[in-house]
Amino acid sequence: MARVIVSTGRGGVGKSTFVVLASRYLKPPKLLIDLDPDESLADMLGIDLSQEGKKNISSALYDIIQENKGAGRTGYDLLSDVLQSAIQGDCLYRSPEFDLITLGTKFTVGCYCAPDAVLKDSIPTLVEDYEEVIVDSPAGLEHFNRKVVVDIDDLFVILDPSEKSIKHIKRVTDITRELKVSYKHLYLIGNHRFTEETEEYLRSAREAYLGKIDYDPDIRQYNLEGKPLLELPEDSPASLSVRRILVEAGYRIRDRNPT
Ligand SMILES: Nc1ncnc2c1ncn2[C@@H]1O[C@H](COP(=O)(O)OP(=O)(O)OP(=O)(O)O)[C@@H](O)[C@H]1O
Ligand SMILES: [Mg+2]
């Protein structure tokens, strides 16, 4: 049974960076899921999905509906079997180190319902093949409403040093309870903007605070140059912070030379 890890938090706090760095320390087989319409995770991992011949789920769904219109087959239920095989074939990027699947942008104006439903229905089968499933979320709380992933093992909430972030913790616990999104552990992580003093806020929180991710100038530089974060050196301060955080959360770490 796969362990499902979700990285969440407000905009720009470092959710995707955490997913990439955490994935360096977790053993394959593992699946990364990008729920952010921005689809930046693949870039941060150094993968060009279109060059690999892979589509996001929204595009696959759109194409299938267009192709089946002529045959009189429309509607999510009718196309469900076609969709499930498209997920495995057209959408799932596979590599020895990790697999990746991305949700993509909105399918129709104002609604993610159809691609969300496709991914949600596929998740129970998809995750069977993995030890770890690591989900990168879009900013904010709305992704919980979409209920794509409802059985979470470890929910990592990445925070910046602001009152809004502190309020965000309560919002996460409230919304997950209301929506019946379950998690076994909720862990708080301070991002690179925290100082010793501001960390005190998090230490006094009810939920488990696992530490902060150190500032790492290489991360900014790599992002600027479009270099994959997987190539960060082993002694990258941010990477070592994520390693420490995972150890703190009880994870068995797999050290390796990523290059
Ligand atoms: N440890 C760090 N040290 C320095 N800069 C960092 C660190 N972590 C992240 N950043 C910078 O913060 C910015 C946001 O990081 P990231 O994309 O991981 O955040 P995010 O929460 O996923 O953002 P979004 O809400 O847009 O998805 C990036 O420009 C990155 O360069
Ligand atoms: Mg992100």
Domain assignment present for residue 254? The answer is no
Partners of 46 in the β-ladder: none
Domain assignment present for residue 239? The answer is yes
Indicate the pairing of strand 99-102 with strand 182-190. unpaired
Pocket of ligand 1, candidates 105, 194, 219: which has the most ligand atoms within 8 Å of its Cβ, to mutate? Answer: 219
Q: Which pair of structure tokens corresponds to residue 47?
A: 């993968």
CA of 230 to the centre of ligand 2 (A): 15
Answer with the residue of higher pLDDT: 98 or 166. Answer: 98
- In three-state secondary structure terms, 67 is helix
Q: Which atom of ligand 1 is nearest to the CA of 138?
A: 27
List pLDDT tens digits, range 112-168: 677 788 788 888 888 889 999 999 999 988 888 888 888 899 999 999 998 888 889
Q: HSE-up of 29 (CA within 13 Å, CB side)?
A: 11
pLDDT at site 173: 94
Domain assignment present for residue 157? The answer is yes
Domain assignment present for residue 25? The answer is yes
The residue among 61, 166, 151 whose CA lies nearest residue 104 is 61
Domain assignment present for residue 57? The answer is no
Q: Which atom of ligand 1 is nearest to the CA of 19?
A: 18
Give the Cα separation of 66 and 69 in Å (integer): 5
Q: Mean of the pLDDT values across residues 232-255? A: 95
List pLDDT tens digits, range 128-138: 899 999 999 99
Domain assignment present for residue 83? The answer is no
pLDDT at site 65: 79
pTM: 0.93
Domain assignment present for residue 75? The answer is no
Single-letter amino acid code for the residue at 14: G
Domain assignment present for residue 26? The answer is yes
Its domain, for residue 178, covers 3-48+95-105+123-248
Residue 8 has pLDDT above 50, yes or no: yes
CA of 16 to the centre of ligand 1 (A): 7
For the four alpha carbons of 72, 74, 78 and 84, in that order, the dihedral sign comes to: positive
User: The domain that contains 201 carries what CATH number?
Assistant: 3.40.50.300
Task: Write down the residue that tokens 């997920």 correspond to.
Answer: 87
Q: Whose CA is nearest to atom 30 of ligand 1?
A: 220
Pocket of ligand 1 (CB under 6 A): 9, 11-17, 36, 38, 139, 192, 213, 215-216, 219-220, 223, 238
Q: How many distinct structural domains can be found in the chain?
A: 1
pLDDT at site 258: 46
Partners of 101 in the β-ladder: 33
